[in-house]
Amino acid sequence: MKGERNEQKSQGGTDDDVYELRLREDGEGFDLISDSFRCGAIRYSEPDAVRDAVAFARYRSRRLAHYARVRVLDASGAVMRTYEPDDDFRR
């Protein structure tokens, strides 16, 4: 499966700080997708998959001056939830 980001653009930030979390085609968890990943998507399938993927994206973006924006997409590719840089992702 090729990790391709949705064509939606971020508002007020660079594309490098946008990550997408997509449901896997086989229904077995999620793929975290970013243009900055050299080897493609990262798979998450544990019960806290969304929380862990958002935490990892923010950890990777910490070297920048701000946290990443993470979009959670459903099977059709529609945005279900967006974690903005100032959101409390531990909810």
Kindly state whether residue 11 falls inside one of the protein's structural domains: no
Kindly state whether residue 4 falls inside one of the protein's structural domains: no
Is residue 16 over pLDDT 70?
no
- Give φ, ψ of 7 to 5 degrees: -75, -5
Q: Find the domain containing 54 and state its range.
A: 16-83
Cα separation, 25 vs 45, whole angstroms: 13
Encoding tokens for residue 78?
């529609």
Kindly state whether residue 6 falls inside one of the protein's structural domains: no
Percent of the chain past pLDDT 70, that is, above it, reads 70
Kindly state whether residue 89 falls inside one of the protein's structural domains: no
Please name the residue ranges forming H helices in 1-91.
Answer: 49-61
Is residue 82 over pLDDT 80?
yes
Kindly state whether residue 91 falls inside one of the protein's structural domains: no
Q: Looking at the whole model, is its pTM more than 0.85?
A: no
Q: Are 63 and 57 in contact (CB under 8 A)?
A: no
Would you state the pLDDT for residue 79?
A: 92
Residues 88, 37, 86: CA angle, nearest 5 degrees:
15
Domain count, the chain: 1
